[in-house]
Amino acid sequence: MRIQIYALSLLFFFMLGLPASAAPGLWDSLFRVKRVEPGTKVQKKTLPPVSSRDLEIAEAVSRAFAAVVKRAAPAVVFIQVEKTVIRKEPLPFPFGPFPFDFFGDDFLHRFFPQVPRKFKERGAGSGFIVSADGIIFTNNHVVAGADKVIVQLADGRTYRGKVLGRDPQSDVAVLKINGKNLPTIPLGDSDKIQVGEWVIAIGNPFGLSHTVTVGIVSAKGRSGLGITDYEDFIQTDAAINPGNSGGPLINLRGQVVGMNTAILTRSGGYMGIGFAIPINIVKAVAEQLIKKGKVVRGWLGVVVQDLTPALAEEFGLKSTEGALVAQVMKGSPAAKGGLKRGDVIVSYNGKPVRNSSELRTFVGLTHPGTRVSIGVIREGHRITLEVTIGEFPRAEEVASAPAVEKFLDEMGFRVRELTPDLARELGYRVRKGVIISAVAPGSPAAMAGLRPGQLIEEVNRKPVKTLGEFYEALRPSLRSGRVLLLVRDQRFRRFVVLSR
């Protein structure tokens, strides 16, 4: 073996030192080099010329995009907000920086006093004008907790914005500026858009005013993402980045079909998956915010869950589409309308119901007092029930109260209701509860060690299993500025006190 390696090495070095002119046959045989003699014609492969007809079509499409943007862009606004946040910071070490900080800042924070300090935070987003007198639609998370809202138009004019209403559960907000004859953008019908349609996103990503990106509708009816309480998102591959939130998603007719809201990312930037709230949902929520300053939602009074293949087989169903009724509340509209545990709801007022999240959205957007037809599969037979939708119970309505929203902002965390799928994913045996969905860095919640995925079992010594119970138990904290939580993860429970 060594002799073979040695021989190959000698051959290699011999070849390196051998001039190409000295042994042309050797080089050709070793490397299969094809020589082209001078004067030989080389056949070139050329692409066929673009026909004038094809070029005309491409240019027409390009002009169509440009025309849509030219009409829509003046109605897209840049929103800048300023808010006051309170954070606790340690008192400075009396003799300068601690010389042996081996364990990091979090370690020292346990032993040195924490003092609350006020900070000014600035943020930015997008919005679009829907009326000539200055009504603007945007996302709730763009203006939540804002002390000051500045709206800048495409022509550079700036206005002080007033928040007419916000709805955290759908992430929709309505602003008003004092202007006249302002440029507006027409609203379309999001129920009519199709997967594969071209769409245009206009916004202010990273403060870059009136950035235009193009893509298609990648999917419809996306839910279970944990972005909002009511989810029925349009998915698009049009580039959406921080700062695009609240901006319009437009079809080729120049109509708004969605409000750009969120992205799915691991890097913090665009990765080809963006989500927009369908404009039909935005319109329904905004109409109530303008008239009442709040949103009154419909209530059916059932606990529903998604169907798994095993459940579908057990109930004799051919697919997993629908919402399985696990519980019917006594005296609820569902009980009065004849719904029973074990029913599978497959349609709502003529619209197919694919999952529990979709049913929740349909019911929530239904005005209380409306009579609806609900298609149900019961013991293998399809029946239709007539149900009069009620109003969501008061305990749940606290969710949209500005005081509660502000308190959670000050504490620096967000919550959502636990679903069976989420419980399995997080490793919890319980199927009902309230979990922490987000924690702001540097907030009181972060300083206390709270983190996303933890389960909140008690608020101010009261057990909580639903968002309604959570918000109801939180009421005393709005006055005292303190809240006692019992939280747990997959291993341990512990009490946590948060305060302003």
Q: What is the DSSP string of 444-480?
A: HHHHTT--TT-EEEEETTEE--SHHHHHHHHHHHHHH
Is 324 in a helix, a strand, or coil?
A: strand
DSSP tag of 145: T
Residues 6+ apart with CB under 8 A from 102: none
- Order across the sheet with 172-176: list the strands: 158-160, 148-152, 76-90, 114-129, 135-138, 172-176, 162-167
Q: By the 8 A CB rule, do 225 and 265 touch? A: no
Q: Give the count of beta carbons closer than 10 Å to the beta carbon of residue 147.
A: 10
Phi-psi map region of 454: left, alpha, beta (phi>0 left; psi -120 to 50 alpha) = beta
Distance between CA atoms of 221 and 238, rounded to whole angstroms? 17
Q: Give the count of beta carbons closer than 10 Å to the beta carbon of residue 211.
A: 19
Q: By the 8 A CB rule, do 172 and 139 touch? A: yes
Is 277 in a helix, a strand, or coil?
A: strand
Catalytic one of 126, 141, 306, 332: 141
Q: By the 8 A CB rule, do 480 and 403 touch? A: no
171 in catalytic set:
yes
Distance between CA atoms of 245 and 123, rounded to whole angstroms? 11
DSSP tag of 187: B
Distance between CA atoms of 39 and 348, rounded to whole angstroms? 78
DSSP tag of 1: -
DSSP tag of 206: G
Distance between CA atoms of 420 and 308, rounded to whole angstroms? 11
- Our CA dihedral for 119, 124, 128, 133, rounded to 10 degrees, sits at 40
Mark the binding-site residues, compressed into ranges.
Answer: 82, 141, 171, 243-245
**Tokens (6 digits) for 143:** 């203006």
Q: By the 8 A CB rule, do 113 and 90 touch? A: yes
Catalytic one of 245, 347, 357, 443: 245
**Rg of the chain's alpha carbons, rounded to an integer?**
30
Mark the binding-site residues for substrate, compressed into ranges.
Answer: 82, 141, 171, 243-245
141 in catalytic set:
yes
Give the distance from CA 186 to its chain's centroid.
24
- Maximum C-alpha span of the chain: 101
Q: By the 8 A CB rule, do 255 and 186 touch? A: yes
Residues 6+ apart with CB under 8 A from 12: none
The residue with tokens 């010329």 is 49
Catalytic one of 171, 229, 237, 343: 171
Is 149 in a helix, a strand, or coil?
A: strand
Give the residue numbers annotated as catalytic, written as ranges: 141, 171, 245
